[in-house]
Amino acid sequence: MSAPAPIPLSQPSLTAHEREAVASVMQSTRLSMGPALERFEEQMAEHCGVDHAVGVSSGTAALHCIVRALDLPEGGTVITTPYSFVASSNVLLFEDLVPRFVDIDPATYNIDPARVEAAITPDTCAILAVDVFGRPAPWPRLRKIADAHDLALIADSCEALGASRCGTPVGSWGDAAGFGFYPNKQITTGEGGCITTNNAALAETCRSLRNQGRATRGRMRHVRLGYNYRLSELNAALGAAQLDRLDAILKARTRASTRYHDALAPLTDTLRRPPQTLPDAERSWFVYVIELRPPWIRTHRDALCDALRADGIGCAPYFPAIHLQPFYRERFGFREDAFPHCESVAARTLALPFFAEITETQICRVVDALHTHLPTCAPESNRMPLSTS
Ligand SMILES: Cc1ncc(COP(=O)(O)O)c(C=O)c1O
């Protein structure tokens, strides 16, 4: 009997609508900075309830443009989270800013606002928070803290398109927000990103930064150091077609999360499922991440990940702590135990296969594999007998 087809960790949701949109760009001669980008930006602004959206070549480029456009003082400190994708801190280093990590709230995986407030010093110039796994950061409290201390507030919403907090969409929190559209995201442009903001001057600067620092009027007048962070028409057309289907995609992802939630109910002594509903927020499902309960530690989680992969089930330890990455250790001297909540969660979380078109059968296969491998990978003290005979 042949092995069943592997189940990928993630997969974009692509239909004839997206293929036609990209093909129509191919019928034109306009491949960059044209009508598809304009349409994509208009749709993003509308979805996020903001005045301005600026399409760029990646989520990293979006965050970099925001950080640069805010014109923060060189050497200033930015309070941020170590439980994120590395790009959210790297963009600070691009601009010679100092990331000041504070620990997360282990219940939400988001930055802990009480720790943010306690970490503010005269060198602090901004807060950069992340909507981890599509769960909105505690934006109302962060906004209050930022206002009280006259700090910029940057939203890394790369994982959260479609989410909202207190009824206000992600993308309109913060002075500006950055989105990413790598193919594992809720919608994709292949590669791409977007800045959303209500600040007209900031949006104008980001438009200039993405296009080699050109003045937005005057073709070859370069008024600042800029980059090539442009989003091609092919990518933008794909993004616009995906945005047409955003509601349907988000609904399908929510359905998949509910299926996992129900199917994993018998395993909740061993693992924590992400909550289906949140008190004052609407999550946009980016990944489905389970947390193995103590006494599970990294080695057991990694063994489980290997066993699932050997069965053709895509999974990933997600996120690894940023401050423990070799480059951050070397540059800043970080060691274990610097941010215990972040490290404990990072050692025990595992992303399971998750995408809009995941089938009931595929979810059953993942859950069956968990039933098989959890007992054998568990810490000694938790190891269950494989057979009762
Ligand atoms: C939280 C977060 N920030 C930033 C990024 C960077 O986005 P990109 O890979 O499009 O540069 C990502 C992408 O995975 C992300 O998840």
Q: Tell me the pLDDT tens digit for each residue of 24-47.
A: 999 999 999 999 999 999 999 999
Joined together, the tokens standing for residue 161 give 């398109």
Active site residues: 185
**85 within ligand 1 shell (Cβ under 6 A):** yes
Binned at pLDDT 50, 70 and 90, residue 334 comes out as very high
**130 within ligand 1 shell (Cβ under 6 A):** yes
Binned at pLDDT 50, 70 and 90, residue 382 comes out as low
Number of CB atoms found within 10 A of residue 123's CB: 12
Joined together, the tokens standing for residue 383 give 């190891």
Task: In whole angstroms, give the CA distance from residue 277 to residue 258.
Answer: 10
Residues 194-222 have a mean pLDDT of 93
**131 within ligand 1 shell (Cβ under 6 A):** no
What is the atom index within ligand 1 of the atom nearest the CA of 185? Answer: 14
Residues 285-312 have a mean pLDDT of 98
Residues 230-235 have a mean pLDDT of 98
Q: Is the pLDDT of residue 388 over 50?
A: no
Least confident of 89-93, 147-151, 213-217, 353-357: 213-217
Dihedral angle sign, alpha carbons of residues 91, 96, 100, 101: positive
Q: Is the pLDDT of residue 75 over 70?
A: yes
Q: Is the pLDDT of residue 385 over 60?
A: no
Binned at pLDDT 50, 70 and 90, residue 216 comes out as confident
> What was the pLDDT predicted at 383?
65
Residues 299-325 have a mean pLDDT of 97
Supply the mean pLDDT for the chain. 96
Reference 120, options 77, 184, 70, 154; nearest CA is 77
Q: DSSP characters for 198-263?
A: S-HHHHHHHHHHHBTTB-SSSTT-B-S---B---BHHHHHHHHHHHHTHHHHHHHHHHHHHHHHHH
The alpha carbon of 137 is separated from its chain's Cα centroid by a whole number of angstroms, namely 11
**59 within ligand 1 shell (Cβ under 6 A):** yes
Q: DSSP characters for 136-193?
A: PP-HHHHHHHHHHTT-EEEEE-TT-TT-EETTEETTSSSSEEEEE--TTSSS--SS-E
Cis peptide bond prior to 339, omega within 30° of 0:
no
Q: Which domains does the chain have, with CATH numbers?
A: 16-244 (3.40.640.10), 246-379 (3.90.1150.10)
CA of 60 to the centre of ligand 1 (A): 6
CA of 190 to the centre of ligand 1 (A): 13
Would you mind telling me the total number of residues written for the chain in this entry? Answer: 389
Q: Is the pLDDT of residue 387 over 70?
A: no
Three-state DSSP at 63 gives helix
Mutate to test the pocket of ligand 1, among 9, 57, 159 (most ligand atoms within 8 A of CB): 159
Binned at pLDDT 50, 70 and 90, residue 217 comes out as confident
Binned at pLDDT 50, 70 and 90, residue 218 comes out as low
Residues 72-77 have a mean pLDDT of 96
Task: In whole angstroms, give the CA distance from residue 26 to residue 111.
Answer: 43
CA of 218 to the centre of ligand 1 (A): 32
Binned at pLDDT 50, 70 and 90, residue 3 comes out as confident
The CA–CA distances, whole Å, from 82 to 19, 87, 89, 105 equal: 38, 11, 8, 12
Give yes or no for a contact between 198 and 54, defined as CB atoms under 8 angstroms apart: no
